[in-house]
Amino acid sequence: MPMTVEELLDRARRRLVRVEPEQAARELAEGALLVDIRPSEQRAQGEIPGATVIDRNVLEWRLDPASRWRIPEVTSHDVRLIVICNEGYSSSLVAAELHELGLVNATDVIGGFGAWKAAGLPIELAANT
């Protein structure tokens, strides 16, 4: 029997040690890679300084250490990756999928960008807003 999206999300989150926005900000300052997967329309609400924006449709290729299209920051499967989306749903699914690629230190931000902003953490408005 197929899973529901809620069951899929629950299974993904059981694999992760998710982080609050404040912890994500601390880890970003210490060198973790914060990966913003929000589409441009959502990033127009604000961007996180220091975050790496990666479009969802190329995410696995950019973050797989074995991929010839990976970004330079991803040098091994041990890299700390923290995924953030708008509300913390898509990011959980993505972080669990990254575990499948061997990126065992991947996780996501509880509550996503909305929680980041509500916590008063730094954001920058996009240049065209």
Mean pLDDT of the chain: 94
As a whole number of angstroms, the distance between CA 82 and CA 59 comes to 13
CB-CB contact of 36 with 88 (8 Å): no
Residue pLDDT, tens place only, 27-52? 999 999 999 999 999 999 999 999 99
Mean local confidence (pLDDT), 43-71? 95
Instruction: For residue range 77-99, list pLDDT tens digits in order.
Output: 999 999 999 999 999 999 999 99
Reported confidence tier of residue 103, pLDDT bands at 50, 70, 90: very high
Q: What is the pLDDT of residue 45?
A: 92
Show the domains of the chain with their CATH numbers.
5-118 (3.40.250.10)
For 9-35, what is the mean pLDDT?
Answer: 96
The answer to whether 103 and 79 are in contact (CB under 8 A) is yes
Cα–Cα distance between 93 and 10 in angstroms, integer? 9
Residue 85 among the catalytic residues: yes
Catalytic residue among 81, 85, 96, 103: 85
Q: CA-CA distances (angstroms) from residue 80 to 5, 35, 68, 105, 116?
A: 26, 10, 20, 5, 19
- CA 55: distance to chain centroid? 11
Confidence category of residue 127, pLDDT binned at 50, 70, 90: low
Residue 128 has pLDDT above 60, yes or no: no
pTM of the model: 0.93
* pLDDT the model gives residue 129: 46
